[in-house]
Amino acid sequence: MKRTKIDMALRGDAARGDILVKGWVRTRRDAKDFSFLEVNDGSCRANIQVVADAGTDGFSFLKDMGVGAAVAVRGELVASPGKGQRWEIRAASLTLIGKADQESYPLQKKRHSDEFLRTIAHLRPRTNKYGALFRIRSEMAFAIHEFFHDRGFAYVHSPILTASDCEGAGEMFRVTSLGPQEGGLPEDERAAKDFFGKDAYLTVSGQLAAEVFACSLGDVYTFGPTFRAEHSDTSRHAAEFWMLEPEMAFADLGDDMDLGEELLKYLTGAVLTRCAADVELFASFVDKDLPARLEGIRDRPFERLPYARAVDILAGCGKTFEYPVGFGLDLQSEHERYLTEVHFNRPVIVYDYPKEIKAFYMRQNDDGKTVAAMDVLVPGIGEIIGGSAREERLDALERRVAERGLTMDGYWWYLDLRRFGSVPHAGFGLGFERLLMLLTGVTNIRDVIPFPRTYRHLEF
């Protein structure tokens, strides 16, 4: 007999009559002649109630079907006479698939702290909260593909091993196949001896590959893991995180901002309709303002303003910040959050940043001081999207690289894009974990990724 997922059974989509469900016991209550099991299979937030009695096949094994045990239940799906659930299963047979030792099973029926659950990342998806979180994560990855597929964007797989530092920020993990002894060689010899005959790194961004493909397929996106050796131990930075990077040909900064706003509206709408029960859990236990905030993001236009005006607002607002504010200084998350949470009370797109604080590839504006960059800032988090129009003029790009003291050795192909049929193009990067923080109200990035990798932490 084929297994029915509990979400199907509870939606009433399953065939009436006999069904088979498999999952893990959440609770068991034994009465005189009956036992009630709450079983969850991860397909939805709700458990299914199972009623067993002496007539149920396998009833004698019930004593081993404690919290955490894996079980199979065959029986009839019937309208439940009890309150709290619409459906229940009258069990014809129960099978114990995997026991769980009751003394040592770490997920007892009480609320556990996020900190504790991080130490059992292999079991936390079995809790209501993390089950909901990772279902939302899966749905949102799918919704991203759907959004771009519907708009005719091609999905490009950018490499993870790379020799280039896209962001020029030097926060790369080096990858080597050399053993510890060879690692001690002098710098030039070491690189030459290594697997690729040169230094190799884990990518910080798929942008350069996306630019190449935008300049041939038109509109593209990459979506995959990216890596940054940032030593900052914050609640918003991970060493390994997922980034979505669309890139559009024949597009400018305005198109880029429009796409970012449309995407965030689409995804907040999708989570509200497709993950309603899971969002409701976060509204009840994590952040009661979540639904209203998500509806606001979905329904109200974002604010857009140039960086210079953002600086004026921050400098004139009368609030004392930890970090200084002024033209030419990067916005810190406290500034970003003031703009979104206090001043505008909605997502804010800041554009035209001073060129000194932005990456070499961003298109210079005519004022000579700023570049056509944009960041989308959201309440609770700050920067969630960073993007720009790309410098498509060869001479301007070369000047910019020289100003920065960078070399384009190894980037001949990137420059070639500007030599042969160059076109204005623009794109951005959306941090997928930051999106999930926004959609759930969870405030620590460690709690929205299955197995977090952060400074000094590499478990599981």
Residues at the interface with Mg ion (CB under 5 A):
386
CB nearer to ligand 4AD: pick between 38 and 433: 433
Q: Which does 385 bind (CB under 5 to 8 A by kind): ligand 4AD, Mg ion, none?
A: ligand 4AD
CA distance 126 to 134: 10
Least separation in angstroms between residue 377's CB and ligand 4AD is 9
CA distance 148 to 267: 12
CB nearer to ligand 4AD: pick between 28 and 335: 335
Cβ burial 362-383 (10 Å sphere, 16+ → b, else e): bbbbeeeebbbbbbbbbbbbbb
Structure tokens at 369: 């001081």
Contact 348, 340 (CB under 8 A): yes
Q: Which residues pair with 104 in a beta bridge?
A: none
Q: Which does 166 bind (CB under 5 to 8 A by kind): Mg ion, ligand 4AD, none?
A: ligand 4AD
Which listed range, 54-62, 265-273, 320-328, 378-386, lies at the site for ligand 4AD (CB under 6 A)? 378-386
First to last CA, the chain: 35
Q: Which does 429 bind (CB under 5 to 8 A by kind): Mg ion, ligand 4AD, none?
A: ligand 4AD
Contact 382, 438 (CB under 8 A): no
Least separation in angstroms between residue 256's CB and ligand 4AD is 9
Pick out residues in 203-242 that bind ligand 4AD (CB under 6 A).
205, 207, 228, 230, 237-238, 241
Which listed range, 7-15, 110-118, 344-352, 380-388, lies at the site for ligand 4AD (CB under 6 A)? 380-388
Q: Which does 252 bind (CB under 5 to 8 A by kind): ligand 4AD, Mg ion, none?
A: none
Structure tokens at 374: 């944009």
434 makes contact with ligand 4AD (CB under 6 A): yes
457 makes contact with ligand 4AD (CB under 6 A): no
CA distance 335 to 323: 8
Least separation in angstroms between residue 159's CB and ligand 4AD is 14
Contact 235, 170 (CB under 8 A): no
Considering only residues 379, 386, 424, 452, which one is a binding residue for ligand 4AD as defined by CB under 6 A?
A: 386
Structure tokens at 55: 């007539």
- Each as own residue / partner, the long-range contacts of residues 77-85 (CB below 8 Å, 24 or more positions apart, any chain) are 77/9, 77/14, 77/16, 77/17, 77/19, 80/49, 82/49, 84/49, 85/46, 85/48, 85/49
The residue of the chain with the least Cβ separation from Mg ion equals: 386
245 makes contact with ligand 4AD (CB under 6 A): yes
Q: Which does 58 bind (CB under 5 to 8 A by kind): Mg ion, ligand 4AD, none?
A: none
- List interacting residues with ligand 4AD (CB under 6 A): 166-167, 205, 207, 228, 230, 237-238, 241, 243, 245, 383-387, 427-429, 431, 433-434
